[in-house]
């Protein structure tokens, strides 16, 4: 009996050893295969995703600011920069892990583009700290729209709608895009009269000021944001989340869609909701429009982007700079 039990234990142990060895061999073969297929070490998988995202982000930026971003540069220590028309270089990623507040106050291009703005219908106020587009890179905005009040003012043009003049930045097609959006909305109100009262009277556009409670310039300071007709449930500081939700439920999404199609993001898709606020941010809309899930698994890295002459030129610049 004792002998049999020992034999049985030996057999079990032997069996476990065999299974372990077979598992180890299978795992090695499997990871070797993945490494070969992707031509990379499996440990660098995260970095492939990062490298791809960086190229795609820079392409979005070049498409969004075609007259202002002229080139891409990689420094000897591996930092990647976009090169502006003025010659100024803006760093893509400072490599620092940041809290939500740090991203808002000191975000870089990578932070700005990290969160995907939902181009689809959203039926509720976003969860806490989900605020796509709320991170802004001020050095970029200053380069494109003006780096002082005087400079911004000199770039303003009046767009006329609802019986009043709306000053908006003329650079990078901002005023032109606002004009087109408001025209489309005006046409919509001819069929859907009730929409008019959600848009007009327009509450404001250019206003050189800091965001309440911060030392950050509001996007209104650059003449790239417009507040439509105001309601006291529109802003997270004025209203509870429930009141904001109520307002969101009633808000005509046709208006939102028209603005988004013209490269504006909507503050109704932020946890720090700002429902009357629309902001011209072509890089955020372009990133969402051409975003591909698991893009790091697909060749070429610019999969999903339109391959017209301009875009191919940017792709070349990016490939030459980052290899």
Summarize as ranges the residues that interact with Zn ion (CB under 5 A): 225, 227, 277
Q: How far is the CB of 234 from Zn ion (least distance, A)?
A: 9
- Spatial separation of the C-alpha atoms in residues 244 and 233, rounded to whole Å: 5
Looking at beta carbons only, is 108 or 227 nearer to Zn ion? Answer: 227
- Spatial separation of the C-alpha atoms in residues 314 and 304, rounded to whole Å: 15
Q: How far is the CB of 304 from Zn ion (least distance, A)?
A: 31
Looking at beta carbons only, is 56 or 281 nearer to Zn ion? Answer: 281
Question: CB neighbours (10 Å) of residue 280?
Answer: 29
- Spatial separation of the C-alpha atoms in residues 185 and 195, rounded to whole Å: 8
DSSP label of 39: T
> In this chain, which residue has its C-beta nearest to Zn ion?
277
CA angle 58, 59, 60 (to 5 degrees): 90
Looking at beta carbons only, is 33 or 164 nearer to Zn ion? Answer: 164
Cβ(264)–Cβ(278) under 8 Å?
A: yes
Q: How far is the CB of 159 from Zn ion (least distance, A)?
A: 16
Looking at beta carbons only, is 140 or 225 nearer to Zn ion? Answer: 225
Cβ(83)–Cβ(67) under 8 Å?
A: no
Which is nearest to 174 in space by CA: 138, 219, 214?
219
Q: How far is the CB of 212 from Zn ion (least distance, A)?
A: 11
Q: Please name the helix (run of DSSP H) or strand (run of DSSP E) that holds residue 166, with its range, or none.
A: strand 164-169
Q: How far is the CB of 229 from Zn ion (least distance, A)?
A: 12
Looking at beta carbons only, is 219 or 282 nearer to Zn ion? Answer: 219
Question: CB neighbours (10 Å) of residue 142?
Answer: 18
At 134, give phi and psi (nearest 5°): -80, -15
Which three-class secondary structure state does DSSP give residue 118? coil
Q: How far is the CB of 221 from Zn ion (least distance, A)?
A: 11
Q: Please name the helix (run of DSSP H) or strand (run of DSSP E) that holds residue 82, with its range, or none.
A: strand 80-84
Question: CB neighbours (10 Å) of residue 113?
Answer: 27
Looking at beta carbons only, is 233 or 277 nearer to Zn ion? Answer: 277
Looking at beta carbons only, is 173 or 277 nearer to Zn ion? Answer: 277
Q: How far is the CB of 161 from Zn ion (least distance, A)?
A: 16
């Amino acid at each position: 009996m004792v002998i049999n039990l020992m034999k049985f234990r030996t057999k079990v142990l032997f069996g476990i050893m065999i299974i372990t060895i077979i598992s180890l061999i299978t795992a090695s073969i499997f990871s070797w295969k993945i490494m070969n297929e992707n031509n990379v070490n499996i440990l660098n998988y995260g970095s492939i995703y990062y490298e791809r995202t960086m190229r795609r982000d820079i392409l979005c930026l070049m498409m969004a600011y075609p007259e202002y971003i002229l080139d891409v540069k990689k420094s000897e220590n591996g930092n990647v920069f976009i090169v502006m028309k003025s010659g100024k270089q803006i760093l893509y990623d400072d490599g620092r892990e940041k809290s939500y507040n740090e991203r808002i106050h000191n975000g870089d291009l990578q932070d700005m583009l990290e969160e995907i703005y939902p181009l689809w219908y959203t039926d509720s106020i976003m969860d806490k700290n989900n605020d796509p587009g709320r991170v802004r890179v001020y050095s970029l905005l200053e380069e494109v729209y003006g780096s002082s009040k005087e400079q911004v003012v000199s770039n303003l043009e009046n767009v006329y709608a609802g019986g009043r003049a709306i000053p908006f930045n003329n650079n990078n097609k901002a005023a032109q895009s606002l004009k087109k959006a408001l025209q489309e909305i005006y046409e919509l109100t001819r069929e859907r009269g009730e929409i008019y009262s959600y848009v007009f009277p327009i509450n404001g556009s250019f206003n050189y000021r800091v965001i309440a409670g911060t030392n950050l310039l509001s996007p209104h300071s650059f003449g790239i944001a417009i507040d439509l007709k105001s309601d006291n449930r529109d802003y997270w500081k004025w209203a509870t989340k429930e009141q904001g939700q109520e307002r969101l439920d009633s808000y005509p999404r046709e208006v939102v869609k028209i603005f988004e199609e013209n490269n504006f993001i909507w503050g109704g898709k932020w946890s720090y909701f700002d429902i009357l606020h629309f902001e011209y941010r072509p890089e955020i809309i372009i990133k969402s429009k051409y975003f591909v899930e698991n893009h790091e698994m697909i060749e070429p890295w610019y999969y999903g982007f339109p391959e017209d002459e301009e875009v191919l030129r940017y792709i070349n610049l990016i490939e030459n700079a980052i290899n």
